[in-house]
């Protein structure tokens, strides 16, 4: 889903010391200077050897737990897990950093990294929405805690996409109900989109699906009111054209008649 990783965090700490040598198996548990261990982790990140980097940063904390660099290594280790798609490990590491260092100047990044771990696990709209909800809560926490930060600006953009994904899930369930003739259940789902996610790309389709459902139930006045709202807000869309046809003739145009509630080709799925 995300096409590029965030390289900025390496740059924050990459200049903390001279470049170290890569570890060998014999050196793995030998106590060494903190600068050497830390920079081995940075070098491994640069070479995209993320598992090696995570081990190196863990070794910094193990061998030098009370050093300034041990604190930095905690967060860099979380970043290495994230880059290696080890999202659960990254979340645990980020949470640990937040708990141990609530006043650290980089704690905002820890919250942001945790949110990214949830966000990048959002897959297609047909899967369970739990991960999407976790991502939304984590992104909103970034914005709430650090409203003026660079992280918050990016989080706001991702929140919009996350809302779109949640709306898409409601639409997918609503269409399922329509296909089974369960129009009351479908209406509830489409109303949820309008109540909670009306700023998303799914709103015009949700309005049209309501028109379809109301017509199917014989609630023509409700259908006309909903079609009017659709026409006022989205007058040039195919969704309005189809709704207008429904409330004036009681049926879709000939090219759109494969089955009431089953025309979903124009549905929007941003993921």
Q: What is the CATH number of the domain that holds 91?
A: 1.25.40.10
- Do 28 and 119 have their domain in common? yes
- Do 50 and 115 have their domain in common? yes
Domain membership of residue 175 (yes or no) is no
**Phi, psi dihedrals of residue 178, rounded to the nearest 5°:** -60, -45
Give the tens place of pLDDT for each residue, 2-47.
444 554 454 445 544 433 444 445 445 567 787 888 888 899 899 9
- Do 112 and 237 have their domain in common? no
For the record, the structure tokens of 86 come out as: 């080890």
- Do 105 and 137 have their domain in common? yes
Give the tens place of pLDDT for each residue, 163-181.
998 999 899 999 999 999 9
- Do 150 and 38 have their domain in common? yes
- Do 49 and 159 have their domain in common? yes
CA distance 117 to 195: 28
> Can you give the residue range of the structural domain that contains 141?
8-163
E strands of the chain, at which residues? none
- Do 91 and 196 have their domain in common? no
Q: What is the DSSP string of 154-220?
A: HHHHHHHHHHHHHHHHHHHHHHHHHHTT-HHHHHHHHHHHHHH-TTSTTHHHHHHHHHHHHHHHT-H
pTM: 0.71
Q: Are 50 and 80 in contact (CB under 8 A)?
A: yes
Give the tens place of pLDDT for each residue, 54-95.
999 998 888 888 888 889 999 999 999 999 999 999 999 999
CA distance 41 to 59: 9
260-to-153, 226, 231, 239, 243 alpha-carbon distances in Å: 42, 17, 20, 13, 12
Tell which of 136, 163, 190 closes a domain: 163
């Amino acid at each position: 889903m995300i096409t590029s990783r965030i390289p900025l965090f390496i740059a924050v700490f990459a200049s903390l010391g001279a470049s170290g040598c890569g570890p060998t198996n014999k050196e793995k548990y030998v106590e060494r200077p903190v600068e050497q261990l830390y920079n081995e982790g940075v070098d491994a990140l640069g070479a995209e050897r993320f598992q090696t980097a995570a081990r190196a940063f863990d070794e910094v904390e193990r061998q030098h737990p009370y050093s300034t660099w041990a604190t930095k290594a905690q967060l860099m280790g979380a970043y290495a897990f994230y880059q290696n798609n080890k999202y659960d490990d990254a979340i645990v590491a980020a949470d640990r950093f937040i708990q141990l260092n609530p006043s650290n100047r980089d704690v905002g990044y820890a919250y942001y990294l945790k949110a990214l771990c949830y966000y990048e696990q959002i897959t297609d709209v047909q899967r369970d929405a739990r991960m999407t909800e976790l991502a939304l809560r984590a992104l909103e926490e970034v914005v709430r805690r650090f409203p003026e930060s660079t992280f918050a600006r990016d989080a706001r953009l991702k929140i919009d996409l996350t809302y779109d994904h949640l709306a898409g899930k409601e639409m997918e369930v609503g269409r399922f109900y329509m296909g089974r003739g369960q129009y009351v259940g479908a209406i509830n789902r489409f109303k949820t989109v309008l109540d909670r996610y009306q700023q998303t790309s799914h709103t015009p389709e949700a309005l049209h699906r309501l028109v379809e459902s109301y017509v199917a139930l014989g609630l023509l006045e409700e259908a006309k009111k909903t079609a009017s709202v659709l026409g006022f807000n989205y007058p040039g869309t195919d969704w309005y054209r189809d709704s207008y046809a429904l409330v004036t003739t009681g049926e879709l145009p000939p090219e759109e008649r494969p089955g009431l509630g089953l025309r979903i080709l124009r549905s929007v799925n941003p993921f």
